[in-house]
Structure 1
C-alpha cells in the first residue's frame, strides 16, 4: 500500500476507536501533526486492550507497512 492508503487506513482505525467511545485524544493529536508511528502505537495498544473493535487484518497490514516492532506491546 502507498503512504496515502496507509494514512487513510490508520485514520479509519482511529475513527473506529473514537466511535467506540475510547479516549484517543492524544493519538488524534499525534495524527494531526504527522506522527503516524506514534498514532499507530496507540491504535495498536487500544486494539489489544479492546479486541473486536478493529479488523485484525487491517491492523496487521498497518503494522507491516509501518514496520512497527510490536514486541513490547505484545507482552
Structure 2
C-alpha cells in the first residue's frame, strides 16, 4: 500500500466532509477528490495539520468495507 502525508493540509483546496463522518460537529473527516497521489484524508478540526494520503486502491477497499459494515 502506498501512503504518504502532507504536512500542512491547508495548502490544498477542495476538501469535502466525508459522508461517513458523524453528524455532530466534533467528529469530521474530510477527503480531497482528484489528487494525483491518491486520496488525502484530514481531521476537519485541524485544517492546517497533516493529511494522510492513501492510495486509491486502498481507499476503495476501505470504503467498500465501511459500506459492508466491517
| TM-score, with structure 2 as normaliser | 0.29
Q: Is the strand fraction higher in 1 or 2?
A: 2
TM-score (norm 1): 0.28
Larger gyration radius, structure 1 or structure 2? 2
- Between Structure 1 and Structure 2, the one with more helix by share is 1
